[in-house]
Amino acid sequence: MLNNSHIYHQTLHDLKKRGIDVASVTLNLDNMLVAKDKAVSGPRKSIEHLFKQNKVDYIRGAASFVSPTKVTVELLDGGKSELESNNFVVATGSEVTPFPGGGVQIDEQQIVSSTGALSLQTVPEKLVVIGGGVIGLELGSVWSRLGAEVTVVEFLGGIGGAGIDEEIACVIRLDHSFASGKFKLHTKIIFAEKHNGKVLLHAQSAKGDKDETLEADVVLVAIGRRPYVEGLNLAAAGIELDTKGRIIIDHQFNTSNKNIKCIGDVTFGTMLAHKAEEEGIAAVEYIKTGHGHVNYNAIPSVIYTHPEVSWVGKTEQELKVEGVQYNVGKFNFSANSRAKTNLDYEGFVKIIAEKETDKVLGVHIIGPNAGEMIGEAVLAIEYGASAEDIARTSHAHPTLSEAFKEAAMAAYSKPIHM
């Protein structure tokens, strides 16, 4: 949906200046949704195939612990099955956090979560997004590009969710991501009511001194996700949760029951598929060999808006709190030849390196292809590279990645093209 809505938006608003005249452009939302469904079912089938190829039994059903070494499975195709093992890995993920106090009830038709927002049958005239985190920005930009008037209401003073660089959050706030979107910061939604086919949202300033009512055709609730453990009967296995409902684990992914490990959204850390994937491999390595490792400082984050946002490692704010001295090297895509030639040059690369050693501590990017470019930064952090190491590494010309090299130059000395 992100990719195809971007192509649609670009066809409408961007092709003319590139010398491509398109006679008429119409949105076929039904077909776009079919393409989305195929994009989801394809990888799922491939994974089922991988299970077969690797002789992994795949049992479709809902599991529930009956003892620390046994689960029963309510099979999707009917009936029950039992499984016994000395090793279990719980990876049940997360679900949408319900609205606190029940003031906004998700019906997945007019008041939707990310699930419903990926299946709207028509483009809403006015979409109000509650929560300016990753989901709010990504799905807000999808429907904005498809023609909705989007307003994002965010309780905090910044958008982009936890861990985002403050400077980048400001740039998104001012002029990016949305074709026509606006942000209402320091504002919280109290409750919603349906009236004459619309949803009326009662909003209040974060300080509680101002009230207003917003009208929407569709409301997207994107206020976070919470661990999903329903029906697992964790008590039977002696597994404990913390006060936020996360399964408690130690550094080897052991739950409070040493025979049961746990990874992903249902336990601590960022709720990202690639973080869970690293944990899954490390947990199995612990079971097989007694050793495993995940470098949480080298897990990248990406917001798939346009321009994209990505980051890895520390933010300036975090380093200030830790009292670490650092240098910042920044390079704007407007000075990168590929970005300029492509007429897609909003944003910048920012590299933070330790003052004394020049070691790369954090990389923050907003710009074209930021989600791909961050891979280079993850490698740098994983291998303990210095900014000079990157700056002295040849990067092909003309490519966007030269902006990464030049930001590294700026961190330890001076960029050539700015």
Given candidates 106, 120, 127, 130, which one binds ligand NAD under the rule CB under 6 A? 130
- Residues with Cβ < 8 Å from 307, sequence gap 6 or more? 176, 344, 346, 347, 366, 367, 368, 370
Given candidates 276, 302, 351, 378, which one binds ligand NAD under the rule CB under 6 A? 302
Given candidates 155, 191, 228, 268, which one binds ligand NAD under the rule CB under 6 A? 155
Distance of CA 145 to the CA centre of its chain: 19
Q: DSSP H helical segments within 119-195, as ranges?
A: 134-145, 166-175
Which residues in 163-202 contact ligand NAD (CB under 6 A)? 188-189
Question: In this complex, which beta carbon is closest to ligand NAD, that of residue 9 or of residue 188?
Answer: 188
Output the residue with the shortest Cβ distance to ligand NAD: 133
**Minimal distance in Å, beta carbon 181 to ligand NAD?**
15
Longest CA–CA separation in the chain, Å: 68
Residue 156 interacting with ligand NAD (CB under 6 A): yes
The residue written with tokens 């003309």 in the block is: 398
- Residues with Cβ < 8 Å from 79, sequence gap 6 or more? none
Residue 59 CA to residue 77 CA, distance in Å, equals 10
Q: What is the DSSP string of 188-233?
A: EEEEEEEETTEEEEEEEETTSS-EEEEEESEEEE-S-EEE--TT--
Contact (Cβ atoms closer than 8 angstroms) between residue 225 and residue 94: yes
- Based on the residue annotation, tell me whether 397 is a catalytic residue of this protein: yes
Contact (Cβ atoms closer than 8 angstroms) between residue 91 and residue 266: yes
Contact (Cβ atoms closer than 8 angstroms) between residue 350 and residue 344: no
Question: In this complex, which beta carbon is closest to ligand NAD, that of residue 222 or of residue 410?
Answer: 222
Total residues contacting ligand NAD by CB under 6 A comes to 25
Which residues in 339-398 contact ligand NAD (CB under 6 A)? none
Q: What is the dihedral of CA 231, 232, 236, 238, to 10 degrees?
A: -140
45, two tokens: 């089938």
Given candidates 304, 326, 345, 348, which one binds ligand NAD under the rule CB under 6 A? 304
Question: In this complex, which beta carbon is closest to ligand NAD, that of residue 304 or of residue 348?
Answer: 304
**Minimal distance in Å, beta carbon 45 to ligand NAD?**
22
**Minimal distance in Å, beta carbon 404 to ligand NAD?**
20
Residue 403 interacting with ligand NAD (CB under 6 A): no
Measured in degrees and rounded to the nearest 5, phi and psi for residue 75 equal -70, 140
**Minimal distance in Å, beta carbon 131 to ligand NAD?**
3
Question: In this complex, which beta carbon is closest to ligand NAD, that of residue 135 or of residue 400?
Answer: 135
- Residues with Cβ < 8 Å from 45, sequence gap 6 or more? none
Contact (Cβ atoms closer than 8 angstroms) between residue 176 and residue 307: yes
Question: In this complex, which beta carbon is closest to ligand NAD, that of residue 154 or of residue 376?
Answer: 154
Question: In this complex, which beta carbon is closest to ligand NAD, that of residue 70 or of residue 186?
Answer: 186
Binding mask 251-280 for ligand NAD (x = CB under 6 A): -------------------xxx--------
Q: Which span (39-47, 127-135, 226-234, 276-284) binds ligand NAD, by CB under 6 A?
A: 127-135
Given candidates 169, 179, 249, 303, which one binds ligand NAD under the rule CB under 6 A? 303
- Per CB under 6 A, residues contacting ligand NAD are 130-136, 138, 153-156, 161, 188-189, 222-225, 270-272, 302-304
Catalytic positions are 397
